[in-house]
Structure 1
Amino acid sequence: MKASRLVSVFAFPALLILFTAFPAVQELLLGSLFPGNEELIYPRSSLLQLLSTHLVLTAISTAAATAAGFLLGLFAYLEPSGAGRRSVAGLSGVAQTFPPAAVIALAVPALGFGAPPVLLALFLYGMLPVVVNTTKGFDSVSPRVLEAARGVGMNRIRQFSLVEFPLALPVILAGVRISAVINVGTAAIGAVAGAGGLGAPIIAGLVRFNPALVLQGALATALLALSIDAAFGLIADKTRT
């Protein structure tokens, strides 16, 4: 494992915990950057509570997008004609065409305020990278490898589970990685629908013209995204060995 990878795997989560768990650290940093601000940290909830809400939103939406995206990508790969692949690509592309804020606004009348409309938006927006990378991953498996698997007597199920899926897994995980990082950033928009999360200080800071609150939420969101990206990078290294 590269030293830089090892450092990032531990450094970013450590900085995230240090910044979110200790209000004194937040006040020290933000106070040095914005000495004239009377309100330096978000008063309604602790940043650690907002982080936990943000993690739940990201985890649920990414898990759902991964499951749906993998199944759609697998269908596109196994479907013999090109029509299935074009349909899946079109469907997932349309799902990501709508901005998350628009999806949330349209879903609020039907689903109400809170987590449901935000989860729907994150699910739709995070599905495309998984679909694309699933098809790319399976397409990258060499026909010679498949022919060799059939030559040793493997049936279709064993060929898929022992050959195709393990070889495609690193590419699929790269799609999940992209989806997770996208959802971390996009989940911040959920604060406008009352879902909470690290977007709450950002929205409050924009409304109150308070850059300290904006930076409080933005810095925590960035550290979370970097932590998740580093974790998936570690997993990717393990799958290649």
Structure 2
Amino acid sequence: RPAGAEFLPLSRSLVNIGQTFPPVAVLALAVPAVGFGEKPTRIALFRYRLLPIFENALTALPPLPGNVMEAARGAGMTGWQRLMKVELPLSAPVILGGIRLSVVIGLATATIGSTVAAKTLGEVIIAGLISNNLAFVLQGG
């Protein structure tokens, strides 16, 4: 949006910097702050899953055809109405692609939560590694 354009480089940099830290490192930093269990896992997964949604939303919104936006303005829509009734519906496939990618990333990395006592499939993997049981490792994977 034009009103927040000056914040785009800063927000993009913050999200990209957040993506450079591996989820295990975020877990290690979150455990002293919030303790063991699900909370540090949720923090790590939220931070790790944010980039695909953020980038796809930024990619989807600006390149809408000018004639579509002009038609919406000509119909008397306010900026909020244009966003909700024109821009978001036309951008939805790309934004949903980012959400889909985010879900896959979350499922793939959720197993690390078991290292901080969260109930995940990582428990089965860790049990298999400890007992040298390949079936458990494969089942968790």
User: TM-score, structure 1 length as denominator?
Assistant: 0.56
Counting matched residue pairs gives 141
In structure 1, the gaps of 5 or more residues are 1-76, 219-241
Corresponding residue for 2:52? 129
C-alpha distance after superposition, 1:90-131 (max 9, x if no partner): 011111111000111111112111001100000100001111
CA distance in 2, matches of 1:179, 1:214: 24
In structure 2, the gaps of 5 or more residues are none
Of the two structures, which has the highest relative contact order with CA contacts closer than 8 Å and spacing of 6 or more?
A: 1
Is contact 1:79-1:85 (8 Å) kept? Answer: no
TM-superposed deviation, 1:140: 2.8
TM-superposed deviation, 1:151: 1.6
C-alpha distance after superposition, 1:17-53 (max 9, x if no partner): xxxxxxxxxxxxxxxxxxxxxxxxxxxxxxxxxxxxx
TM-superposed deviation, 1:78: 4.2
1:131 partner amino acid: F
Corresponding residue for 2:15? 92
Corresponding residue for 2:117? 194
TM-superposed deviation, 1:202: 0.8
CA distance in 2, matches of 1:88, 1:79: 14
Aligned-pair Cα RMSD in Å: 1.3
Does residue 176 (structure 1) correspond to residue 116 (structure 2)? The answer is no
TM-superposed deviation, 1:159: 1.3
Alignment of 1:54-203 (within 5 A): 77-79=1-3, 81=5, 83-203=6-126
CA distance in 1, matches of 2:16, 2:3: 19
SS of the equivalent of 1:110 reads helix
SS of the equivalent of 1:195 reads coil
Is contact 1:114-1:195 (8 Å) kept? Answer: yes
CA distance in 1, matches of 2:34, 2:28: 10
C-alpha distance after superposition, 1:133-172 (max 9, x if no partner): 1111112311221011112222212211111111111111
CA distance in 2, matches of 1:78, 1:188: 40
Name segments (4+ residues, structure 1) moved above 3 Å: 77-81
